[in-house]
Amino acid sequence: MVLRPLICAATLLAATSAYAQSTSGTLVVVPAFGEVVHANDQAVASFSIEEQDKDKAVAASRVNLKMKQGMEIIHREDAQAALKTEGYYTYPVYAEQRPLASGTAAKPQIIGYRVGQSLQVKTVNLAGLPKTAAAAQKVLSLNGLNFGLAPATLRQLDEARIAATYKNLQERIASIAAAMGRNRAEASLDTVDFEGSGNYAGQDRAAAAPMAMKSMRMSEAAAVAEPSFEPGETTLQMNVVAKVRFK
């Protein structure tokens, strides 16, 4: 009567031992993931000015003058902002043409010129951004606005992102070891790929999601009410893939 339980226990122990031995030397590829969230602390605004006149020089002069005025306003409101002029263009404006009686198209006739220029403004002064934008809109048009993280903030968050990813990796290794009936101490890291460059890895999904704003045009003489902005936050993500070998 006592012999049968002893035999069953011995059989179970042997089966468990055989199961554990079947994973000896196994190389396991373990993907892991980590992320950190931080409030956006940088804005990149896009301003522009466009003028049209039958005299190309007159249109260009107005653009040049208003762009200079706009830049001076922005510098006055936000001395730390970084400005970059972009995209100067000059295009002819043609009169609307009606087909001739013969059905052929009439020769295009230039009736004026359209001249414009863009300005990029990068700033970390988000508290003063509505006032700065409203002041600049007296002269320039606000065409777009993106919020994100400043380079210094990205560098600071990188350490936390790596730590979160590595912690998740350790947790997953422990879970896999338990599922295999192995002790966590029996697993050793063979390779750790923080770039996720292997075929087994997903792409790094770190991205700062931009918040776009539609173009707002106001007359030069009119006072402009301050716009409302919500910077939001950015989630930085990281993938890691490790090769873990069990003894």
In order, the DSSP letters of 23-92 are TTT-EEEEEEEEEEEEE--EEEEEEEEEEEESSHHHHHHHHHHHHHHHHHHHHHH-TT-EEEEEEEEEEE
Output the pLDDT for position 243.
Answer: 84
In one-letter notation, the amino acid at residue 169 is L
| Residuewise pLDDT in 10s, the chain (247 residues) | 444 544 444 444 444 544 445 778 788 888 888 899 999 999 999 999 999 999 999 999 999 999 999 999 999 999 999 999 998 999 999 988 777 666 677 778 899 999 999 999 999 999 999 999 999 999 999 999 999 999 999 988 988 988 898 898 888 888 888 888 888 888 888 888 877 655 544 444 444 334 333 333 434 445 777 777 778 888 888 888 888 888 8
Q: Which residues contact 45 (CB under 8 A, 6 or more apart)?
A: 120, 121, 122, 123, 129, 133, 142, 144, 145
Structure tokens at 230: 């919500």
Q: Which pLDDT value is given to residue 21?
A: 52
Q: What would the two tokens of residue 3 be?
A: 């012999």
Task: Give CA–CA dist 58/52, Å, rounded.
Answer: 9
Give the per-residue pLDDT at 82: 94
Per-residue model confidence (pLDDT) at position 135? 96
